[in-house]
């Protein structure tokens, strides 16, 4: 096989292989004589962090454990599994390396700090292109680019729609501009040029493992690359391709670590691809169990958001306003779930608590990466100096969920730790405020976990001047301004009665009994 002085990976987020459905003259031209996979396989779940992480680290999501939340919050510190940037840097202390990403969490939480990688970002792909070109002019030994607007178009207008294709055509144009820059810099002949997507999508989301979510385009072009179809490749193979193209050794295949390989069909004489099916735990619970209102009294539901590619309150009681963008992923409970936090949340207009008992229930996906206390939902200003102001907030931490009620003078925080063995996946949470029995009952996964009694001066109305907000605090500020949180919620339910053993068991049946 050939080696190259330069390698460029242009990542087009959320394109899948939908470029086969629209005009992409630049991609066609660039890969005319290259090696192309139309059904390279994305890692499960088909989510950005899991797949960009797989590409840059050469490992499965089960091994690297990165999530959209974790890379937004934390720098990448795992020295046992360095990124390709770090592996290159270790062999070449002086070369120029650049990572230019519209979605900055990649720069923040996958590419290590302090290893001399120029990291750039911009608000949209159009503004990113001149930054990319300025990097190309500095002749990067390795350039990684992530374009994000194609994924945005999929989330907002649907994957495989004209709206999505239009953005793919734009990304094709940007890719052409970048390719041209390599030509103008006089280094194209010595460059291996790669275009790949991290995942596709279905309806308005992704995260599941259907064909349009998991199959992605991978194109490879450069001197010595065979004009060929690659029959099998995975997103995580990018690491091995990059390292070997630069003449660096590719780490041994290690089930607990680096499992990136060079797909057959790119260069002559590469080793056969070693394929071992990897067992992965499936996060969602099971298929659609029927109508939830057969299990709970619809008249006593104040809000129910199934979050199946829509922010609608299916109880029909509230109007819901989206702030920013709530993204949908198809690996929720029964169907899709919603991604909330820094990038989007929603404001309801009909949830009041008055002098009644009530219940707040939802599924939340946990991955132990939340280091602070983002507000999952509530009607209170969650900035810490205002936590004695009246209202309630449910907040998430790495190992528990905090339920805060404040009566205006004082507050009660009740943290219910995740059940033993919960380190990732969806967890069901219920907080039942029972005015008659003067107690709050907490359930996890439909089991009673904790009871606290309510002092008399907390038997007040919890309505505030703020609306009830899902995905942020009542003020709609905490998660997006002070903090960088992202989390997944499903089936958000508010009722005007306090769940007890019997109603909790009914809800469990809705999810689990055939
Ligand atoms: Zn993505």
Tens digit of pLDDT for each residue in 120-151? 999 999 999 999 999 999 999 999 999 999 99
Q: How far is the CA of 129 from the centre of ligand 1 (A)?
A: 19
Q: How far is the CA of 405 from the centre of ligand 1 (A)?
A: 37
Distance separating alpha carbons of residues 93 and 263, to the nearest angstrom = 29
For the chain, the domains span 6-245, 292-512
Coil/strand/helix, residue 244: helix
Q: What is the mean pLDDT of the chain?
A: 93
Tens digit of pLDDT for each residue in 177-211? 999 999 999 999 999 999 999 999 998 999 988 88
Supply the DSSP string of 11-25, one letter for each residue: EETT-TTGGGGS--H
Q: How far is the CA of 217 from the centre of ligand 1 (A)?
A: 13
Mean pLDDT of 73-93: 97
Verify cis geometry, omega within 30 degrees of 0, for the bond prior to 490.
no
Predicted confidence at residue 348, as pLDDT, reads 96
Q: How far is the CA of 69 from the centre of ligand 1 (A)?
A: 13
Tens digit of pLDDT for each residue in 9-29? 999 999 999 999 999 999 999
Cα 72 to Cα 222, 239, 512: the distances in Å are 34, 22, 33
Query: Does 447 score more than 60 pLDDT?
Result: yes
Q: How far is the CA of 281 from the centre of ligand 1 (A)?
A: 21
Mean pLDDT of 284-305: 82
Which pTM value belongs to this model? Answer: 0.80
Q: How far is the CA of 88 from the centre of ligand 1 (A)?
A: 25
Ramachandran class of 421: left when φ > 0, alpha when ψ lies in -120 to 50, beta otherwise: left
Q: How far is the CA of 46 from the centre of ligand 1 (A)?
A: 8
Q: Please, which pLDDT band fits residue 287 given cuts at 50, 70 and 90?
A: low
Tens digit of pLDDT for each residue in 341-393? 888 999 999 899 888 999 999 999 887 677 788 999 999 999 888 888 899 99
Predicted confidence at residue 482, as pLDDT, reads 65
Q: How far is the CA of 13 from the centre of ligand 1 (A)?
A: 5
Coil/strand/helix, residue 470: strand
Query: Does 426 score more than 50 pLDDT?
Result: yes
Q: How far is the CA of 138 from the centre of ligand 1 (A)?
A: 28
Fold adopted by 292-512: Jelly Rolls (2.60.120)
Same fold, 6-245 and 292-512: no
Mean pLDDT of 25-43: 97
Fold adopted by 6-245: Alkaline Phosphatase, subunit A (3.40.720)
């Amino acid at each position: 096989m050939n080696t190259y002085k330069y390698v460029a990976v242009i990542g087009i987020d959320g394109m899948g292989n939908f470029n086969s459905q629209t005009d992409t003259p630049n991609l066609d031209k660039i890969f005319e004589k290259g090696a192309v996979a139309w059904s390279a396989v994305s890692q499960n779940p088909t989510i950005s962090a899991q797949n960009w992480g797989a590409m840059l680290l050469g490992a499965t999501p089960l091994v690297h454990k990165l999530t959209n939340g974790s890379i937004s919050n934390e720098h990448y510190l795992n020295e046992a599994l360095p990124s390709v940037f770090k592996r290159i840097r270790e062999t070449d202390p002086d070369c120029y390396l650049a990572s230019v990403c519209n979605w900055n969490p990649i720069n923040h939480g996958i590419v290590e700090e302090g290893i001399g990688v120029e990291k750039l970002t911009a608000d949209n792909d159009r503004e990113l292109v001149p930054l990319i070109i300025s990097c190309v002019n500095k002749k990067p030994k390795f350039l990684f680019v992530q374009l994000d607007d194609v994924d945005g178009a999929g989330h907002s207008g649907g994957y495989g729609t004209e709206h999505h294709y239009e953005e793919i055509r734009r990304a094709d144009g940007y890719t052409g501009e970048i390719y041209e820059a390599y030509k103008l810099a006089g280094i194209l002949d010595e460059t291996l040029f790669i275009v790949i997507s991290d995942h596709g999508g279905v309806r308005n989301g992704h995260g599941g493992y259907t064909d349009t979510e998991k199959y992605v385009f991978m194109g490879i072009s450069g001197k010595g690359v065979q004009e060929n179809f690659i029959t099998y490749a995975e997103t995580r193979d990018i690491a091995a391709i990059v390292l070997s193209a630069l003449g660096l050794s590719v780490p041994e295949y290690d089930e607990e670590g680096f499992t990136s390989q060079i797909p057959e069909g790119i260069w002559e004489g590469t080793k056969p691809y070693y394929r071992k099916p990897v067992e992965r735990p499936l996060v969602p619970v099971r298929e659609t169990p029927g109508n939830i209102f057969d299990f709970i009294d619809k008249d006593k539901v104040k809000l129910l958001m199934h979050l199946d590619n829509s922010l609608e309150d299916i109880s029909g009681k509230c109007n819901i306003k989206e702030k920013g963008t709530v993204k949908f992923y198809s690996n929720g409970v029964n169907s899709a779930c919603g991604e909330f936090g820094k990038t989007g949340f929603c404001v309801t207009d009909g949830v009041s608590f008055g002098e009644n008992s009530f219940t707040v229930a939802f599924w939340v996906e946990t991955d132990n990466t939340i280091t602070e206390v983002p507000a999952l939902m509530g009607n209170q200003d969650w900035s810490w100096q205002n936590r004695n102001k009246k209202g309630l907030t449910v907040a998430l931490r790495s190992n528990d969920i905090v339920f805060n009620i404040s009566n205006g003078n004082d507050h009660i925080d009740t943290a219910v730790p995740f059940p033993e063995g919960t380190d990732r996946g969806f967890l069901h949470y219920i907080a039942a405020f029972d005015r008659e029995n003067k107690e709050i009952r907490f359930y996890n996964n439909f089991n009673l976990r904790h009871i606290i009694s309510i002092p008399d001066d907390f038997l007040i109305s919890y309505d505030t001047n703020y609306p009830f907000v899902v995905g942020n605090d009542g003020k709609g500020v905490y998660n997006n301004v002070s903090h960088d949180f992202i989390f997944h919620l499903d089936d958000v339910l508010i009722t005007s009665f306090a769940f007890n053993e019997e109603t909790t068991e009914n809800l469990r049946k809705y999810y689990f009994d055939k």
